[in-house]
Amino acid sequence: MTAAATVGDLVSQPYKYGFVTDIETEKIAKGLSEDVVRLISAKKEEPAFLLDFRLRAYQQWLKMEEPDWASIGHAPIDYQNIIYYAAPKQQVKKASLDEVDPKLLETFEKLGIPLSEQKRLSNVAVDAVFDSVSIATTYKEKLAEHGVIFCSISEAVKDHAELIERYLGTVVPSNDNYFSALNSAVFSDGSFVFIPKGVACPMDLSTYFRINSGDTGQFERTLIVAEEGASVSYLEGCTAPMFDTNQLHAAVVELVALDDASIKYSTVQNWYAGDENGVGGIYNFVTKRGQCRGDRSHISWTQVETGSAITWKYPSCVLQGADSVGEFYSVALTNNHQQADTGTKMFHVGPRTRSTIVSKGISAGHSSNSYRGLVQMGPKSVGARNYSQCDSMLIGDQAAANTYPYIRSQQPDASIEHEASTCRISADQLFYLQSRGIGFEEAVSMMVSGFCRDVFNQLPLEFAAEADKLLALKLEGSVG
């Protein structure tokens, strides 16, 4: 038995979150048209400005073409064969959790996200999104005491329309790319976070996305605004049932940081990845961008990407304010026939802006894992600095790892550093650990954790364990 074969067995653990909740769902008919866009907007009782925003985006989308430059391949997506809105039948958003359908609460509990008063996580507020709608948000009142707004974006459209109108689409314009245009036209739900001037958010915020229906696309939209001197740490998690068809998930996340504000955004992505032959799984085509609008502002992305059949995402930072800081820490694990083309873009606009990129790709099975990153130093980015480190780990001999760093500088007084490495878990390393009494699975897990440590250190404490658990699930049979 070769080490590679055994590691291969290890990484092929079954997906734990593949169950379907049997719940009555209200769905609209398949397909996309202007009428569908109007219908979604009407269902959500949206103000006119938002309907206009959607219709404009739809018109732009019609004229655009699906991007084909990423190092991924898939059969053409039939956009008319997708349901663009699905919601559990529960007419009004419930005032209290007690009124939420117990089946939904049970679903989230099963996913490790208890929502009820007694069981909910003690220091994290959670917004739970099921298919196209948010079903519950915890700790809203407590957060409100601090002036923090944390609610679903649909609620925000109703209750804080002026904030939505001021910020929505200002970081990721609807015509930014094909999928952002699609999302802007049909987005269903997601989270809205607003941290007022000078407030440090008293607890971590988290949104948990769950796709339940088999033929639905999920198009969530998240907007986080931190005013001057405000700070927040936010985490999103996601899972989906196992279906043998591919499902489209095209989200848009926008972050805005004003002077001295700081936003830390962490993702643990575990959408269904398809089976070992590459059948089924989520197409995760996501646009995430943060804008450091203010001086000395700080935006940090941390992502642990383990799921999805295809991942196409580049959480980026526009470093506009002087002395602003952008960070990107990423672990992407692909197995079987998964494909990931992920990385970041750091646009250095203002003077003395700094960015750090640490990317760790782990490829096993027949998967393909690419890092694609852009570091751009604009003409005014005097004294700007970037440091990038891209490491790949190969498990077995069928997997591929690629690195595509793009560097553009229009500023002679900017410094850019790029380091890259590729390694393989060798049979000798495994044997060394084993010969000290460490079991095979633990040895693999230790090496993978060690490889990812720089990134895991960046995760909020509450979620570092979750990320470790997730990798363990993918890499270990015995840990549950």
Partner 1 sequence: MIRPDAPVLLEICDLRASVEEQPILKGVNLTLRAGEIHAVMGRNGSGKSTLSKVLAGHPAYRVTGGSVLYRGDDLLALQPEQRARIGLFLGFQYPVEIPGVSNLEFLRVATNARRLEQGLEELDTFAFEDLVRERLQVVQMDPAFLERSVNEGFSGGEKKRNEILQMALLEPLVAILDETDSGLDIDALRIVAGGVNQLASADNATLLITHYQRLLDVITPDYVHVMAAGRILRTGGKELALELEERGYDWVDVEIERLEAAELEALAAAQGSRTPAEVG
Dihedral sign from CA coordinates of 58, 60, 63, 66: negative
Tokens of 425: 């878990």
Give the shortest CB-419-to-partner 1 separation in angstroms.
13
**Nearer Cβ to partner 1, position 76 or 437?**
437
Under rule CB under 8 A, residue 329 binds partner 1: no
Give the shortest CB-394-to-partner 1 separation in angstroms.
14
250-269: contacts with partner 1 (CB under 8 A): none
| In contact, 451 and 360? CB cutoff 8 Å | yes
Give the shortest CB-437-to-partner 1 separation in angstroms.
3
Which one of 14, 102, 198, 450 is in contact with partner 1 (CB under 8 A)? 450
Under rule CB under 8 A, residue 49 binds partner 1: no
Q: How far apart are CA 384 and CA 381, in angstroms?
A: 5
**How many binding residues for partner 1 (CB under 8 A)?**
26
Which one of 64, 97, 446, 479 is in contact with partner 1 (CB under 8 A)? 446
Q: How far apart are CA 345 and CA 366, in angstroms?
A: 27
Give the shortest CB-420-to-partner 1 separation in angstroms.
14
**Nearer Cβ to partner 1, position 33 or 426?**
426
**Nearer Cβ to partner 1, position 77 or 446?**
446
Site string for partner 1, 201-220 (x = CB under 8 A): --------------------
Torsion from C-alpha of 67, 69, 72, 76, nearest 10 degrees: 30
Which one of 453, 457, 465, 477 is in contact with partner 1 (CB under 8 A)? 453
Give the shortest CB-436-to-partner 1 separation in angstroms.
4
| In contact, 312 and 341? CB cutoff 8 Å | yes
Q: What is the 3-state secondary structure (H, E, C) of the chain?
A: CCHHHHHHHHHCCCCCCCCCCCCCEEECCCCCCHHHHHHHHHHCCCCHHHHHHHHHHHHHHHHCCCCCCCCCCCCCCCHHHCECCEEECCCCCCCCHHHCCHHHHHHHHHCCCCCCCCCCCCCEEEEEEECCEEEEECCHHHHHHCCCEEEEHHHHHHHCHHHHHHHCCCCCCCCCCHHHHHHHHHCCCCEEEEECCCCECCCEEEEEEECCCCCECECCEEEEEECCCCEEEEEEEEECCCCCCEEEECCEEEEEECCCCEEEEEEEECCCCCCCCCCCEEEEEEEEEEEECCCCCEEEEEEEECCCCEEEECCEEEECCCCCEEEEEEEEEECCCCEEEEEEEEEECCCCCEEEEEEEEEECCCCEEEEEEEEEECCCCCCCEEEEEEEEEECCCCCEEEEEEEEEECCCCCEEEEEEEEEECCHHHHHHHHCCCCCHHHHHHHHHHHHHHHHHCCCCHHHHHHHHHHHHHHHCCCCC
**Nearer Cβ to partner 1, position 91 or 435?**
435
Q: How far apart are CA 316 and CA 1, in angstroms?
A: 43
- Indicate left, alpha or beta for 375 from its phi (over 0: left) and psi (-120 to 50: alpha): beta
Give the shortest CB-364-to-partner 1 separation in angstroms.
17
**Nearer Cβ to partner 1, position 137 or 369?**
369
Give the shortest CB-421-to-partner 1 separation in angstroms.
9
**Nearer Cβ to partner 1, position 94 or 453?**
453
Place of tokens 């229009």: 410
Give the shortest CB-13-to-partner 1 separation in angstroms.
20
Site string for partner 1, 391-430 (x = CB under 8 A): --------------------------------x--xxxx-
Which one of 2, 33, 123, 398 is in contact with partner 1 (CB under 8 A)? 2
**Nearer Cβ to partner 1, position 411 or 429?**
429
**Nearer Cβ to partner 1, position 73 or 437?**
437
**Nearer Cβ to partner 1, position 257 or 452?**
452
Give the shortest CB-442-to-partner 1 separation in angstroms.
7
**Nearer Cβ to partner 1, position 330 or 336?**
330
| In contact, 276 and 215? CB cutoff 8 Å | no
Give the shortest CB-453-to-partner 1 separation in angstroms.
6
**Which range of residues in 139-147, 290-298, 315-323, 451-459 is near partner 1 by CB under 8 A?**
451-459
Site string for partner 1, 424-443 (x = CB under 8 A): --xxxx-xxxxxxxxxx-x-
Site string for partner 1, 3-42 (x = CB under 8 A): x---------------------------------------
Which one of 390, 447, 467, 471 is in contact with partner 1 (CB under 8 A)? 447
**Nearer Cβ to partner 1, position 102 or 477?**
477
**Nearer Cβ to partner 1, position 146 or 424?**
424
Under rule CB under 8 A, residue 477 binds partner 1: no
Residues that bind partner 1 (CB under 8 A): 1-3, 423, 426-429, 431-440, 442, 446-447, 449-453
